[in-house]
Amino acid sequence: MAELYPSLAQCAIVAAAFKVLLFPAYKSTDFEVHRNWLAITHSLPAKEWYYEETSEWTLDYPPFFAAFEWLLSRAAYYADPAMLIVKNLNYDSWQTIYFQRTTVILSELVLLYALNRFVKSTPEPNKKLAHVASLSILLSPGLLIIDHIHFQYNGFLYGILVFSIVLARKQSTLLYSGITFAVLLCLKHIYLYLSLAYFVYLLRAYCFDPKSIFRPRFGNAFKLGVSVLSVFGLAFGPFAHWNQLLQLKERLFPFSRGLCHAYWAPNVWAMYSFVDRVLIPFAPSLRLPINHDALNSVTRGLVGDTSFAVLPEVTKEQTFILTFLFQLLPLIKLWLRPDWETFIGAITLCGYASFLFGWHVHEKAVLLIIIPFSLIALKDRRYFSAFRPLAVAGHVSLFPLLFTAAEFPLKTVYTVMWLVLFLFVFDRVAPVPERPRIFLLDRFSLLYITIAIPLIAYCSLAHQLIFGPNRYEFVPLMFTSSYSALGVVGSWVGFMVIYFTA
């Protein structure tokens, strides 16, 4: 490992120093969300955590994350006890800001450890490729924007995901992979999007003989079942004892929210919403009925019910069916060929399906695709061609999270530098594939990246200069979401072709 330079640890130290400089930067309402959760878990007994509603930002993560907040609150008491008072809404003393920002940086050590394990577990000929991929994740502008400015704790959660994927690499540690993923589900339930890939892979590769489904391994199935149930029992058992499981369900799965989160995550429904907006002026000449009550619903940028003015409404059931269908396709191949690289491909495609077709998808969930895909993006140049538009679209789609002027040069310069550096390095080191590359996908990637530059310039600067700061605010958001959605969908189609022809 000595020849791998710069090392993960060296980059982590430099990145941490840079992140410390961002302590005074913009912070979203998620900062208050997590401060409130510190106060709830510190001040109240566990049986009251999921009922407390002094703040509108009620606790809506699974019990293990609540326990994580409780552990942090033990240390927070010594930083500033006032942050742990439930009624101190929107409290943000400098001690509170510094404490919470620091905990995000320290929790990312889990990601650093997992990436180090990933590199070490990679066969010697491919270690440098794994190292490059690991550096791209560690220095990800997505994690920088979401965790260290906007404010969340995704770094350590994705560290657990990567560690679970690494443990799935060997037959001897498959059980620990399942246990680790179960722990992850009890920390943040968004990882349910990837759970079918784990279920199929562990069932096929651990509970059956990988070479034959006619040789079940009952002992392995028993160990896996008991282990996973024990993890969920530890997390949810106390709340079941207090008859609070229905309350937890209401908090964890608020299905009353609308199809689109905030302003349109870059998925199929963003494109659907864009088409709906475009059709409005043409509807009378096309003799299409218009729902006048819905004209403003998809441009207000708020969390709520989304209605369409021209196109048919989309139901929760329809999004569920589409998500399940497009997850099922890669899972069939995973069942037939339960090897580790197919498993990562299936995880990635499950992430794609959930992000593209799911109900009320957050734009931040694009990391569910980018991070596992990064682990195999350098398998050969075909994989890299499919990854490239995703890397551009996924990170550009996060720009609206930071809408203040002070953060504009930071998010833009850092993201562009990351894209130039890593896409250039990926292009140089990705092996030549055994199968021919997809000509159209290569051309799509290049054209897509070329258009990104003027689009960012217009949405971030030119629009306000032309129309002023408060006119047609939805237009740059709509362009960003729709353009990013085109890149994610194009990447998904390209990777589907590669996955099924590999």
Helix, strand counts (H, E) of the chain = 22, 2
- 225 and 112 inside one domain: yes
Whole-structure pTM value: 0.93
Q: Are 22 and 404 in contact (CB under 8 A)?
A: no
Write out the DSSP string of 280-319. TTTHHHHT----GGGTTTTSS--SS----SSSPP--HHHH
Whether residue 475 contacts residue 463, with contact meaning beta carbons closer than 8 Å, is answered with: yes
In a domain, 12, yes or no: no
Whether residue 433 is preceded by a cis peptide bond, meaning omega within 30 degrees of 0, is no
Q: What domain range is 89 assigned to?
A: 22-252
Alpha carbon distance 99, 31 (integer Å)? 11
Could you give the CA distance from residue 75 to residue 124 in angstroms, rounded to a whole number? Answer: 42
Task: Please count the structural domains in the chain.
Answer: 2
Same domain, 179 and 286: no
pLDDT confidence tier of residue 99, bands split at 50, 70 and 90:
very high
For residue 17, give Cα distances in angstroms to 21, 22, 155, 292, 414.
Answer: 7, 9, 16, 52, 15
Pair 207, 353 in one domain: no
Confidence of residue 360 (pLDDT cuts 50, 70, 90): confident
Domain annotation covers residue 8: no
**What is the tens place of the pLDDT at every residue in 209-218?**
888 888 999 9
Token pair recorded at residue 105: 């940086």
Angstrom distances, CA of residue 94 to CA of 81, 89, 149: 13, 15, 15
Give the pairing type, strands 212-216 and 208-209: antiparallel
Establish if 4 belongs to a structural domain. no
pLDDT above 80 (res 219): yes
DSSP state letter for 214: E
Q: Which of 252, 278, 302 is the last residue of a domain?
A: 252
Greater model confidence, 258 or 122 = 122
User: Which residue, 207, 227, 252, sits at the end of a domain?
Assistant: 252
The phi, psi pair for 208, rounded to 5°, reads: -125, 160
172 secondary structure, DSSP code: G
Asked if residue 62 and residue 33 are part of one domain, the reply reads yes
Contact, 4 vs 124, CB < 8 A? no
Separation between Cα atoms, residue 57 and residue 305, nearest integer Å: 19
Q: Are residues 345 and 487 in the same domain?
A: yes
Q: Based on the domain organization, do 421 and 314 belong to the same domain?
A: yes
Cα angle 209-212-216, degrees, rounded to a multiple of 5: 50
C-alpha–C-alpha distance, residues 169 and 177, integer Å: 9
In a domain, 277, yes or no: yes
Confidence category of residue 440, pLDDT binned at 50, 70, 90: low
What pLDDT digit, counting tens, does each position of 248-305 carry?
999 998 776 677 765 578 899 888 888 888 888 888 887 888 877 666 655 444 444 5
Q: Are residues 346 and 238 in the same domain?
A: no
What per-residue confidence (pLDDT) applies to 405? 80
Query: Residue 258 domain-assigned?
Result: no
Instruction: Kindly calculate the radius of gyration of the chain based on its CA atoms and give it in whole angstroms.
Output: 23
Alpha carbon distance 73, 68 (integer Å): 9
Report the C-alpha gap between 186 and 183 in whole angstroms: 5
Residues 106, 218, single domain; the answer is yes
pLDDT band at 351 (very low <50, low <70, confident <90, very high): very high
Shared domain for 246 and 285, answered yes or no, is no
User: Does one domain contain both 299 and 342?
Assistant: yes
Whether 60 and 153 map to the same domain: the answer is yes
What are the φ and ψ backbone dihedral angles of 353, each rounded to 5 degrees? -60, -45
Q: Which two tokens stand for residue 326?
A: 């497009």
Tell me the per-residue pLDDT of 364-415, one tens digit each, with 9 for 90 and over: 999 999 999 999 999 999 999 999 999 999 999 998 888 888 888 899 899 9
Domain end: 252, 284, 303, which one? 252
Q: What token pair was written down for 411? A: 């998010």
Q: Is 6 domain-assigned?
A: no
Same domain membership, residue 221 and residue 88: yes
Residue 436 lies in a domain: yes
pLDDT for res 256: 67
Ranked by mean pLDDT, the top range of 65-69, 310-314, 477-481 is: 65-69
The whole-angstrom separation of Cα 285 and Cα 279 is 10
What long-range pairs does 251-254 form, CB within 8 A, spacing at least 24? 251/50, 251/58, 251/59, 251/60, 252/60, 252/61, 252/62, 252/189, 253/189, 254/60
Residue in 116, 112, 119, 78 with CA at minimum distance from that of residue 96: 78
Secondary structure of 386-448 as H, E, C letters: HHHHHHHHHHHCCHHHCCCHHHHHHHHHHHHHHHHHHHHHHHHHCCCCCCCCCHHHHHHHHHH
Q: What is the pLDDT of residue 128?
A: 94
